[in-house]
Amino acid sequence: DAKTTQPPSMDCAEGRAANLPCNHSTISGNEYVYWYRQIHSQGPQYIIHGLKNNETNEMASLIITEDRKSSTLILPHATLRDTAVYYCIAVGDDKIIFGKGTRLHILP
């Protein structure tokens, strides 16, 4: 699976959009980009995934660049409950590998 790179931490004001970047410059053509988040002392929660096109669901939007070397997870109106570690993962035919993720702090 391709390695992904994320900033270790980010801050976002409550009510604003949180934009979490992820670099995956070695991603291959059949690898999807998945995002999960983990709230303290709980299991990770699936958020969204995509291959080439931008995706949106009730939780977030995923923007993938045309060359697929990077993506951005957007939480449109961040709340305090969005404080968590967010993982960006490239998934192909092999097992899912979680890195250290980005710790998102939502500021009141």
Stretch that binds other proteins, among 21-29, 42-50, 57-65, 69-77 (CB under 8 A): 42-50
Cβ-Cβ contacts under 8 Å for 98 (sequence gap 6 or more)? 36, 44, 87, 89
The reply on whether position 97 binds other proteins by CB under 8 A is yes
43 touches other proteins by CB under 8 A:
yes
Binding of residue 45 to other proteins (CB under 8 A): yes
Where does this chain bind other proteins (CB under 8 A)?
Answer: 32, 34, 41-46, 49, 87, 91-101
